[in-house]
Amino acid sequence: MARIVSSRCVLAVRDLEVSTRYFTDVLGFSRDPIDAAGWSFLTRDNFRVMLGECPDERPASELGDHSYVAYWNVEGVDDFYRELSARGALLISQPADKPWGLREFALRTPDGHRLTCGEVMSRR
């Protein structure tokens, strides 16, 4: 039977160099050994992303609710928040316990893509 073995989030970015630096230097991603002009292939733990340079497209920050691109399930959400905060991540909110049983915080990319990070509270 066929099965999906992994996936990548694909994000359009206006400046590939700036966005790649943010994902590697601030968010802790590493470059994958894939080389394609106008693209960066990056991985951190079990999350993979492809950044595609689209300098003439509308930035994600202008897309409203459509700028929300991913939810990362994290072990040690408070430690992850502190790590990203120390590296200068563009944080939207601090970790907070939510009524749906998750402890969450949010961040954004230089283009305005929004990501939420959460951990099931019973695992903490």
Q: What is the CATH number of the domain that holds 87?
A: 3.10.180.10
Residue 48: give the domain boundaries.
Answer: 9-55+67-123
pTM over 0.75: yes
What pLDDT shows up at residue 117?
97
Span 37-62, average pLDDT: 95
Within the chain, residue ranges assigned H as helices are 16-21, 77-86
Within a domain: 87 = yes
Nearest Cα to 43, choosing from 19, 69, 8, 16?
A: 8
Q: How many domains does the chain have?
A: 1
Span 57-76, average pLDDT: 91
Within a domain: 31 = yes
Where are the extended beta strands (E) located within the chain?
9-13, 30-31, 39-44, 47-53, 68-73, 90-91, 96-97, 102-108, 114-120
Within a domain: 40 = yes
Within a domain: 26 = yes
Within a domain: 62 = no
Condensed to tens digits (0 to 9), the pLDDT of residues 2-37 reads 888 888 999 999 999 999 999 999 999 999 999 899
111 — phi, psi (to 5°)? -85, -10
Condensed to tens digits (0 to 9), the pLDDT of residues 83-124 reads 999 999 999 999 999 999 999 999 999 999 999 999 999 854
